[in-house]
Amino acid sequence: MRTILLIVASITIAIGAGGCEGPSGQAPTGSANSHDLAGDQMTDKLVLTEQQWKSRLTPEQYHVLREKGTERAFTGKYYAAKDKGLYKCAACGQGLFSWADKYDSGSGWPSFTAPIDDEGVAAQEDRSLGVTRTELVCSRCGSHLGHVFDDGPAPTGLRYCVNSAALDLEPDK
Ligand SMILES: [Zn+2]
């Protein structure tokens, strides 16, 4: 009986190892999924413990994404970026914003007029700092991205103000 259990356990581990990301988090399976458009993203939630998030994110990413931190203005790697590509959630790889909707808001944070799909981001009320703001979170993993304000340019009039640390740019090929 014990032997059978051990065999079953080894098989499970072997199967699991093929489909999971390694400890480095660099397995290609995770990012390949992010190409799926929002249609099935809603059913593909990523739920991890805070300990697991800590081990796959840098301390700065963890602070912004999981502790709702804000990087200092003009310090992030993407605020002035004009490279063509898809900005993905740095925590789970879900595609969020296109370079084509990015504009220079002068705020010191990457700013977009719209997400690539409304399903990719979720908005929720944030009453910290004594003011009511609209917080943006990734719809797939619930990580904090930034805030959305209504002082953006046409056509949406919205400014999606996102921390560079919450984003991962996948350049167009
Ligand atoms: Zn995410």
CATH number for the domain harbouring residue 117: 2.170.150.20
pLDDT recorded at residue 129: 87
The CA 3 to ligand 1 mean position distance, Å, reads 41
> In 28-136, where does DSSP find H-type helix?
28-33, 38-41, 50-56, 59-67
Q: What share of the chain is helix, strand, coil (3-state, %, to 5)?
A: 30, 25, 45
HSE-up of residue 142 (Cα within 13 Å, Cβ side) = 9
Cα 148 to ligand 1 centre (Å): 17
Q: Which of 144, 130, 128, 4 is nearest to 63 (CA)?
A: 144
- The per-residue pLDDT for 10 is 45
Average pLDDT of 125-149? Answer: 96
- List the catalytic residue out of 92, 138, 141, 161: 161
pLDDT tier, 165 (very low <50, low <70, confident <90, very high otherwise)? very high
Q: Is 161 a catalytic residue?
A: yes
Range 107-118 average pLDDT:
97
Whole-number Å distance, alpha carbon 78 to ligand 1 midpoint, is: 17
pLDDT value of residue 58: 98
pLDDT tens, residue by residue, 12-36: 444 433 333 334 444 444 444 444 4
- Taking the C-alpha atoms of residue 34 and residue 64, their distance in angstroms, rounded to an integer, is 21
Q: How many domains does the chain have?
A: 1
Angle at 53 between CA 47 and CA 56, to 5 degrees: 120
Angstrom distances, CA of residue 70 to CA of 39, 85, 92, 108, 146:
30, 23, 19, 12, 7
Whole-prediction pTM value? 0.75
Ligand 1 center–CA 120 separation, angstroms: 9
Domain of 43, in residue numbers: 2-31+38-171
Predicted pLDDT of residue 173: 87
pLDDT for the residue numbered 44: 85
- Write down the pLDDT at residue 132: 94
52-108 pLDDT, tens digit per residue, is 999 999 999 999 999 999 999 999 999 999 999 999 999 999 999 999 999 999 999
